[in-house]
Amino acid sequence: MSNDFSSKGTITLGGMSFTGERALGMTLWETTQVVNRAFERMLAEVDGNRAVWFILLALGRRSHATQRELAATVGITEATLTHHLTALERRGWVTRTRDDRDRRVQRLEFTVEGQAAFERMLAAAIRFDRLLTSAVGEDLDTFFSALSRLASVADDRGEGPLPPLAELRRDAGDDAPA
């Protein structure tokens, strides 16, 4: 990786030192940024982007979803989704129709052009996933397990706040000062 945090040495701030060598959080962050940019480029080749991809993917998984359901699935506000849906409607990729039982509710569906765009992006996403999978190789189960453990310890919705840094380092066998 051209932007390797581990080569940047030690950072000191307010009397606390952070050594970049084998800094998992920074390496994970930088790797995520590189992977996101690469995925964005691959989607751009088929006239897409990550925002559109996640919206179309959610709609592809749940045809005729309401705008509220789709926003919740994607993890964005309804106002943000409205902005994206307006652009997708202008492109002729989705239609919004009023629900017969509740006229306040809008249901979404692909147009023929939208279904084709979704399929192009799906093919690109599958190619990208195969590329990433080939980099991990036969250790895919171990990799997924490690990612799951990272998400579990970082999830602040769990049983309380994360343990102090010193405790995490002690548990990891690192005796360096916090």
Q: Tens-digit pLDDT profile for the chain (178 aa)?
A: 444 444 456 666 666 666 655 678 888 888 999 999 999 999 999 999 999 999 999 999 887 888 889 999 999 999 999 999 999 999 999 998 887 888 778 888 999 999 999 999 999 999 999 999 999 988 888 998 888 888 888 876 655 444 444 454 455 454 444 4
Q: Indicate the helix (H) or strand (E) that contains 121.
A: helix 112-136
Q: Which two tokens stand for residue 120?
A: 């192009």
The answer for residues whose C-beta is within 8 angstroms of residue 112's C-beta and 6 or more apart is: none
Write down the pLDDT at residue 9. 63
The answer for residues whose C-beta is within 8 angstroms of residue 41's C-beta and 6 or more apart is: none
What are the C-alpha distances in Å from 82 to residues 17, 59, 68?
Answer: 45, 14, 10
Write down the pLDDT at residue 156. 66
DSSP helix/strand/coil, 1: coil
Q: Which two tokens stand for residue 156?
A: 């602040």
Write down the pLDDT at residue 168. 45
Domain boundaries, the chain: 1-44, 47-136
Question: Domain 47-136 carries which CATH code?
Answer: 1.10.10.10
Q: Which amino acid is at 128?
A: F
DSSP helix/strand/coil, 10: strand
Cβ atoms 94, 114 nearer than 8 A: yes
Write down the pLDDT at residue 5. 43
**Model-level pTM greater than 0.75?**
no
The answer for residues whose C-beta is within 8 angstroms of residue 172's C-beta and 6 or more apart is: none
What whole-number distance in Å separates Cα of residue 30 and Cα of residue 1?
9
Write down the pLDDT at residue 19. 65
Nearest CA among 30, 80, 29, 31 for reference residue 54 = 80
Count of Cβ atoms closer than 10 Å to residue 161 Cβ: 7
Helix 24-44 vs helix 50-61: angle between axes, to the nearest 10 degrees?
80
Phi, psi of 164 (to 5 degrees): -60, 155
